[in-house]
Structures are given as C-alpha cells and as structure tokens.
Amino acid sequence: MREVRALMIGDVVGEAGMKALFAGLGELVRRLGADIVVVNGENAAGGFGITKDETDKLFGLGVHVVTSGNHVWEKKGAAELLDAEPRLLRPANYPAGAPGRGMALVQAGGAPWAVINLQGRAGLYAIDCPFKCADALLERVKAEAPASIVLVDCHAESNEEKEALGLYLDGRISGFVGTHTHVQTADERILPAGTGYLTDMGMTGPDDSVIGVKTEICLRRNLSQMPIKMETAEGPASIHGVLFTIDASSKACLSVDRVLA
C-alpha cells in the first residue's frame, strides 16, 4: 500500500499570516512528509482578498493550489487574476459566467489530485447549490481524470452545512475541510465510507487577535454595534491546518491530524 499525504492550510490572514508561512511552511512540509499543499488564501492581502503578489509568493513557497471564499473578490483585478491563474480557485458554485474556476487538476508527489473549492449558503450569499455543484464536478473528475485523489475546501459559515456536505460526499472524495470561521474545530475523523473530515481548519494568522482582526476594534464593534472598519492584527502568528494520510490506490483516508505550528 502506498500512502500519500495532503497538507491543507486554513485561511491566511494578512501580513502576519504570510510571514508565518514564510517562516514555517517549508519545515512543516518536510516534517509531515506532505506530497501536496493546499492553502486558503482569500484573506492574504491585508486581511481581505488576494492579489497577484500574494498568489505568486504562495506558489513560490511550494503551494500547489490556493483556494478561497467570499472575500476573494475584494481586491481590484480579482477577476483578471482568477481568469489567468488556474491554480488559484474561487468557489465553484458561483453562477455560470463568474470569473475563474472552482477546481484544479494537478500532479503532486507522484499522484494525480483534484482540488475542489465550494462555498456554503447559510449566512452567506444565495449562490448555486454546493451539493449539486459537487456532484457535477465529481462527474467531471470521473470523465477527465478518474485516477485523481479528490480534496474539498468548503468555505462556509454554518457547521451544520459543512458537516452535511462532508457526509454527502463521504466515500466519493478523500478529504473534506471547512474554512471561513478562522477557529479550528476538534472534530477530525474518518467518515463511515472513508473520507477524512474536519469542520474547520482555523486560520493562519496573528495569535493576539479576534479571528485575525485587532482585538480593540472587535471589542468596540461588539460594545457599540457600530460598523467600525476592521483592521488586521499584527505580531506573532500560527499556522493552522490538517494533514490527511491517504491510500493512493483505494483513495480512502487512513488518518486525519490537525496541524498547529
């Protein structure tokens, strides 16, 4: 049995998150023996959105695919960047005609991979159904790259929605992670039909913060209920993510390990 390992990293927040990756990702990949690295980069540019600069830096660090979510549209030039870079994904279930793509087929660690990016609808935008979109993309994988090991990043507010989608895809994909809440959950497990699962990977960003934002601003927002502009916190940061160990032949997940570095 040949094992492959997929390292997926939670939402990179601003300069602090990028610095944490520059300082620690290489050693983390070596220590964990990761064959593929997938990073959610939707907040990499100052805490909201991503630009070509952050995208190029992430790929320069050895990241294979960058996923995103609802903030990917924040920066000027986002549409052009998404159209131009096939390894930078936006959620696949945005309506037809949206810039970019929601799935990447890549080779890494001597294995073929399909990385799918989806977005939930509960508490977010009323975009297309992520369940039906996932069905369609898996049919594409079956037709275009049937040997692929499939990983899913579901960017969603609702834990219920993420868990339901993970179970809906159980046995059809190898690894399912949630992003968006910036708080790592402790429910890592292998689902009944063999899919590795974690509701949310957490964030790669500043430790002294409220989900990556300056604490004093979040306190003022909550105490005053005023729409005070959020600013990304600075200082020491941590990397949060998950490592899936997968049987390359059966594509079943063998272990799920939360990552904190």
* Active site (catalytic) residues: 71
Nearest alpha carbon to residue 246 among 36, 45, 80:
36
Query: Which class for 66: exposed (0-12), middle (13-18), buried (19 or more C-beta within 10 A)?
Result: buried
The separation between CA 105 and the C-alpha centre of its own chain, rounded to angstroms, equals 15
Question: What is the 8-class DSSP label of residue 199?
Answer: S
**Minimal CA–CA distance to 164: which of 211, 202, 127, 118?**
118
Which is nearest to 198 in space by CA: 219, 174, 220?
A: 174
H or E segment and range at residue 80: helix 78-84
180 φψ region: left (φ > 0), alpha (ψ -120 to 50), beta (else): left
User: Is residue 89 within 8 Å of residue 63, measured between CB atoms?
Assistant: no
Q: What are phi and psi of 214, to 5 degrees?
A: -55, 130
Among 61, 46, 58, 54, smallest CA distance to 13 is for 46
Alpha helices in 118-244 (DSSP H): 130-144, 159-168, 215-224
